[in-house]
Structures are given as structure tokens and as C-alpha cells.
Amino acid sequence: MGQTLTEKILDDHLVEGDLEPGEEIGIEIDQVLTQDTTGTMVWLQFEALELDEVQTELAAQYCDHQTYQFDFKNTDDHRFLRSAAGTYGAYFSRPGNGICHNVHKENFAAPGKTMLGSDSHTPTPGGLGELAIGAGGLDVAVAMGGGPYFVEMPEVVNVRLEGELPDWASAKDLILELLRRLSVKGGVGKVFEYSGPGVESLSVPERTTITNMGTELGATTSIFPTDEQTKDYLDRQGRGDQFVELSPDDDAEYADEIVVDLSDLEPLISCPSMPDNVVPVREVAGTDVEQVIIGSCTNGGYEDILPAAKMVEGREIKKDLEMIVAPGSKQAGELLAREGWTAELMAAGVNVSEATCGPCIGIGHVPASDSVSLRTFNRNFEGRSGIENDSVYLCSPQVAAAAALKGEIVDPRDLADELGDMDAPGVELPEKYDGSKADIIRPDEAVDDELIKGPNIGDVPLKDPLGADIHGETLLKMGDNITTDHIIPATSDILKFRSNIERLSEFTLSRVDDTFAERAKATDHSVLVAGENYGQGSSREHAAMCPMYLGVEAVLAQSFARIHKANLYNFGLLPLTIDEETYDRIEQGDDIEVVDDVAAAVENGAEEFTIRVNGDWEATAQFDASEREREILAAGGKLTLTKQQYADD
């Protein structure tokens, strides 16, 4: 039987297991990526492993999430990251040089390579045929140390593209269409592999918009085959020699097939406050808008901003709103500036920002209260913009620019009819991506050879090995789709403590219940209960580390998001899956006891546990850990286990 493209790349990198869906496999990692909010912990963990240097072909540290250094803690973190990259042999991308996924795509992503990144949108370079997976920081630290990355072999789904995008529809509309059809859980345990005659009409930047937002489907990753478009993109980036032709075998078998005719697509929009809440733009046309932002790792490229610049060229945006353009990378910003487009944007009333994630996680450009913000980003989870009860819509740059010109949500086709002289801008690549590399420090240019830690950089917390008893109060009962933003918010006032777990943990689940951290501190042992898809969102391992630090020992949920579940194991927390009836019966405050000898049962391969609630009634909870995950749990977490393993070697 032939292989899918995903299977081919995994096979090339396989070090443990078989490529059977659902089975755990270990793969060798070629490239590693970290960013500033997760990176400090990655390097502290790497330091704890006591290795001299990075073992992967390439590691890159970016500073993108919190680039505004309005607090010394951020600047200290950036300096620490530079010193870690220099000390251990990684590339360092300075604050302001751009978002990790954009800069990585431009400089390093290469067909056929595997990549692990401590950011959930790591799959972005799948648009170039790289198999890239988002993971918790500890997994990334271990991969940098040369250890394999373990993941459940996903099912490979064929997304067959037919036709070509019509005017005013974009790659963003394709991924929004998939979210509309499949929901934010539709990709869990899956890789989306794109194929079909529609692929060749999409440029690499369009493909990476799609692979980037595959994360919103919950997918392990997404990938495109490589072709003339890939070669062309790499040539324009001056990296044509890295092109490799990659495609699935003709007789490859897929777990499922989804067909999308690109020519049927129209401008779509994701309504507050979940990325899959997608409708045609015309359905919400007329909604007043106070803020429009173009940028992010999804639509912050030169090719994304240029269409918007062409739309506003020679016009002015409405006076009662603000429009911000934050390029995804300095390369994009520099090209737009050299070609005069930055001046056109400015003349139209647009505020051109530095290259940063910033507003995507509520750092800068927080919307006004009770207002609508229209963004080209990938997520609109409630509160992520930096204000509770926000109203964030997600759309393409074309829809965003149209709204800025009209002052309300409008289908750009209708605006074009109304104006009479606005052509569909299409997607154009620059002749050459010839931006400066001044903001990337290569390992051979390193300016530091030892770690520089400021006062806010603490130690990595470690947990004791798993014991026989797990028994505690249900400190919080939560609903479905609790995100990592709910568990540890990513806003600037909180994230500045990312390297200081003692302080950061005070904000644990504060979005859900602001007394949680205090109550957790008052008791040594506790459990959490949640509905479906617990921990969806980012790869933020702090969302497992902080509850662990506060004494949470187990999380009982109806289902878990992939990366977060791995993070729970990595930090020694027991994830148990409960059915709907059990979930409904448990109340906040209930006393929950895992009846069995937990350590022995984990070691002996138990696949379920009995839980006793209030000493009164019992239920069964499922436990589907692999052998390796059991070992991690037993040791009290992955860092302790890996240290033990290195010491034994």
C-alpha cells in the first residue's frame, strides 16, 4: 500500500513504534522553534538537563509575543533568551523582527524536515512541506537535547481542493469554511493533508495561512505537497537549493476525504467568540466596527498586507474607527516600506505597528469596551483581546480593509460595487524577499556564552514521584472548551511572570474563578473537573505547571485537547476521562478520591480508575496513557524522568 506524504516524512524520521493511527510513535526532530512566552521555561528546562549544546540541526529562539519592553521583566526575559541561544547554539531573532512562524517560514522552514515548536501554530510551515508540530516547552527542550518526540500517530485526512479562488475570496476563507464544517474539535488526532488540482493555484503564503489555522481545528498538523509554487517561493527567499519534491504515493490511503471547491468560496467571517462560529460576511454586514487590525502569524505577511494597502490607497479609513497594521515580520514590513506601501497605509489613516503578536494576545491595541474589533488573526476566544466580554470577529485582510473603509462589516464585493473603482487585489509575491537579516543572530555570531538571569527568572518547579493516593476537593467545576487562556491568561500584566511560577500561579484560572488560586493554596491536594475539550488553545505549559504548583493532582474531563493532555503528563498531573453522566453528577466542592493505589495501577497498565465521590457514590474514569506517559507520571513529570535517564546513560 502506498504512503501519504505525512507517512513518508514520519517514516523517514521514525525511531520508535509503527505508523498505526492511535499508536504512540517516537520521531526524530530536525528543527526546533521557541518564542518568548514559552521560551524562558524551555531554556530553564534545557539548563536543568545539563547538556552543553543544542543537538538538533537547527534551533531558533524568537521574541515576538511581548515585544514592547514596558517592564524590565520582559527585557530581562529577552536578554536571558539571547544569552541562552548564544550559550547553547541556537539562532536568536530579536524583539521586533517578527512572529516566530513568519520568520521561521522565511528563513528556515524546508520541505521534508520535521519541526517541533513550543507554540500551537507551529504547523504553519506545513505550507512548504515541512511536518511541523506544536508541543509543550518541555517536549521541545527534550527534543533540543536530541530526544525523540512522542506523539499519537494521527489519522491522515485528505483535503482535496478543486477549482480556483474567485475574486475577493481568499485562503482565509478556505480555512474558515473548514472550521464552519468541522468545528474546533474536528481535527483532533488528525493531520490534514492537502491535495487535488486546486493546490497549484495557491501560493506558499496562502498555503501557510491554511496550515497555520489548521491548529484551530485541533489538528496535530497540516501539510501541502511541494511543487513549482514551493520552488518559486524558496527561490524568491534565496533558498532555492532547499527545494525537495514531495508528494503522496498515487495509491496512498487516507482515513477520510473532504472536498472543497475553491470556486464556491465567498468571504466568510468568524463571529465572537470561537473560531468555528463562521458565517458569510453578508450575514453580519452592517455591524458597526471600532477597530480593524491586520497582522498575526495567520495574515501578517507581505502578501496579506499588500491587498489591504491597495484597497485603501488614495482613500481614507472612516474617522470613527482605528485601523492597525502589524506586519508578521520585519521582512514583510521592510518590503512594504521599500515599495512605498507603508506610506500609502499611513496616508489612509492606518497606524503601522512594529512586527509583533502583541494585540493577538491582548498586548497593546486592546479594544474599547462594548465595541467590535475585526481582526485577521486566528483566534477570538473571549477575553483574549485584553478585555472581558470582547466582541472579536476574524476575517481576511480584504474583509478587514473593506470594513475600515465603510465603518461597518461589509462584504468587499458589495463595497467594490458601491465604490465602482476598486478592483479585487489578488495575491502577489514580491520579486525577491530581500529584507535585511540584521535582527537574526546566528550561532556563530553569538554575543553571549553564559546565561544572564534577571530577578524575575525563577527555578523550574519539580513534583514528587506519583504516590498511592489521589484524594482532594473539586476546587472548580468548569464547562466545555476551557482554553489555556482561561487557565493562564496571556495578557501582559500576567505573562510578565512567565519565568516566575510562584508568582504566575496566583493567576491560575482567575478568568473562571478569581478565588481559585487562593483556595488551592489553602489546601495541599485538589482536583479539577471540566467538560469537553479541556485545555484547547495554545501549547502554554504554564497551564499545567501552575495548577501542579498549586497542588492540583488530577483533572477529570469529558475530553482533553492534545497538547494540553501531554502537558498534564509532563508535569505529573493525572488526566482522567469521565462520561457525561459522571460529569453532571459531580458538583464543585465534592470530595473526590481515586480508590485504587494510583502509582501501582499506573505502573501495571490500568486503563480505568474508580473514583469515589463524597465517600458516597462511585464512577469509572478512563485512563488511556501510553507506556511512556505512565513512566513520566510515575517519575513526577518528564523533567525528572529525563534527568534520571541522562544520569543513567
Q: Which residues bind ligand F3S (CB under 6 A)?
A: 65, 99, 101, 119, 121, 296-297, 357, 360-361, 377-378
Question: What's the min distance (Å) between Cβ of 439 and ligand F3S?
Answer: 17
CA distance 602 to 568: 15
Question: What's the min distance (Å) between Cβ of 203 and ligand F3S?
Answer: 20
Q: Which is nearer to ligand F3S, 134 or 248 (CB)?
A: 134
CA distance 297 to 309: 18
**Number of residues that this document lists for the chain:** 649
Question: What's the min distance (Å) between Cβ of 352 and ligand F3S?
Answer: 17
Question: What's the min distance (Å) between Cβ of 344 and ligand F3S?
Answer: 24
Beta strand spans in 478-573 (E): 526-530, 552-557
Question: What's the min distance (Å) between Cβ of 328 and ligand F3S?
Answer: 7
Evaluate whether 218 touches 183 at the Cβ level (below 8 Å). no
CA distance 201 to 170: 11
Q: Which is nearer to ligand F3S, 99 or 625 (CB)?
A: 99
Question: What's the min distance (Å) between Cβ of 363 and ligand F3S?
Answer: 9
Three-class SS state of 151: strand
Q: Which is nearer to ligand F3S, 34 or 474 (CB)?
A: 34
Question: What's the min distance (Å) between Cβ of 534 and ligand F3S?
Answer: 20
598 CB-contact burial (10 Å; exposed 0-12 / middle 13-18 / buried 19+) = buried
Question: What's the min distance (Å) between Cβ of 303 and ligand F3S?
Answer: 16
Evaluate whether 362 touches 384 at the Cβ level (below 8 Å). yes
Which residue of the chain is nearest ligand F3S when measured via CB? Answer: 357
Cross-strand pairs, 510: none
Query: What's the number of CA atoms in the CB half-sphere (13 Å) around residue 584?
Result: 3
Phi, psi dihedral angles at 323 (to 5 degrees): -125, 130
Instruction: For cell 457525561, name the residue.
Output: 580
Evaluate whether 300 touches 326 at the Cβ level (below 8 Å). yes
- What are the distances in angstroms from CA 469 to CA 83, 386, 434, 435, 636? 42, 40, 60, 58, 14
Q: Which amino acid is at 616?
A: D
Q: Which is nearer to ligand F3S, 112 or 327 (CB)?
A: 327
Cross-strand pairs, 499: none
